[in-house]
Amino acid sequence: MALENMTIGFIGAGNMAEALIGAVLDAGLCPPNRVICADVRAERLRELAQRFGLRTCADNLEAIRQADVVLYAVKPQSMAAVLQETAKGLDSSKVIISIAAGVPLSTLSAYAPQPLRIVRAMPNVCVAVKAGATAIVGGPHARKEDLALAATIFNAVGRCIVLSAEHLLDGVTGLSGSGPAYVFMVIEALADGGVKAGLTRAEALLLASQTVMGAARMQLETGTHPAQLKDMVTSPAGTTIAALHALEKGGLRALLIDAVEAATERARQLGAMAGKADK
C-alpha cells in the first residue's frame, strides 16, 4: 500500500516528529488527515494541529490503533515505558519505525507478543532543514516494502541509506549522527581563519558555511570522488596546495577518522549499557 493510503501515527511530537511531519506533508506523501500525533503535552499537540491540520490524540495506544505506520519519536529513556504501554496495540499489519537513538531492534520487539515489522532508523539533526542523513535497518520480520516505505519518509527530510546489519548503526552514529557537530566546529574554525585575514565575523561565517555546503553539494550531485574534486581546484604552486600541506601537517585526515571512531566506540558502549539495562 502507498503511503498516501496509510495513516502515520507519531508517538512523541517533539522536534524530530515535527521535521518529519512537515517534510512528509510538503512532499505530498500523504494528506494531513492521514497523520495522527500523540504526545504527553496537550499544548504541543494543539500547536501541531494548528500548523499542519493533522489529527492529534492524547492517548498513545489510541493513535497506534488508528495508524498503519507507527513512528516512535520519544526520547530513548522514555521508550521502555512507551513500549510497555503501547505494545498491545502493535501487530504484524503495521509497519513500526523507531528513531530512538541506541534502542536496539531486540528491545523494540521484546515487548510485543507477536513478530513485528520493525525498522530502526538513525537520522541526524539536519532533518530540521530537510538535509538530514539517515540510515535504516530492518528487523527480522521487516519486509522489503517496509524498508522502502521508511526510506521514502526519510528521503523527504534529506538522504537515506539502507543498511544490511544493525551493528553498523554504531558507525552511522559516529559519522552522520554526531557528524553535524564536527562540521559546525570546522565552520567555526574556517570563519576564525577569515576573521584573522580581516573579514568581519558575519562575512566569514557566511563564506565558511556556504563553502562547506557547496563542496558537499558538488560531491553529492556529481558523484565524483572527493580526491578528484580536490585535485580540480589545486593548481601548481597555488594557494590551495599551500593550505592542503598545512592540513596534512596538522593530521586532519587522521583526526577526523579518530573522531568518527571515538564516537562509534561510545555508541557501542552506550548500546551495551542499554542492552544490560533491558535484562
Return the C-alpha cell found at 80.
521502555
Residue 82 or 118 having the CB closest to ligand NAP: 82
Residue 73 or 208 having the CB closest to ligand NAP: 73
Residue 125 or 204 having the CB closest to ligand NAP: 125
The residues that touch ligand NAP, with contacts defined as CB under 6 A, are: 11-17, 38-41, 44, 60, 73-76, 78, 81-82, 99-101, 122-125
Minimum CB distance to ligand NAP, residue 106 (Å):
17
Contacts for 140 with CB less than 8 Å, ≥ 6 apart: 105, 115
Q: How far apart are CA 155 and CA 149, in angstroms?
A: 10
DSSP for 55-93, written as a single string: EEES-HHHHHHH-SEEEE-S-HHHHHHHHHHHGGG--TT
CB atoms closer than 10 angstroms to residue 220: 10
Residue 206 or 259 having the CB closest to ligand NAP: 259
Minimum CB distance to ligand NAP, residue 172 (Å):
10
Q: Determine the residue with CB nearest ligand NAP.
A: 14
Cβ atoms of 60 and 38 closer than 8 Å: yes
Contacts for 57 with CB less than 8 Å, ≥ 6 apart: 36, 37, 38, 45, 63, 66
Cβ atoms of 159 and 144 closer than 8 Å: no
Minimum CB distance to ligand NAP, residue 36 (Å):
12
Minimum CB distance to ligand NAP, residue 13 (Å):
5
Minimum CB distance to ligand NAP, residue 58 (Å):
9
Residue 194 or 271 having the CB closest to ligand NAP: 271
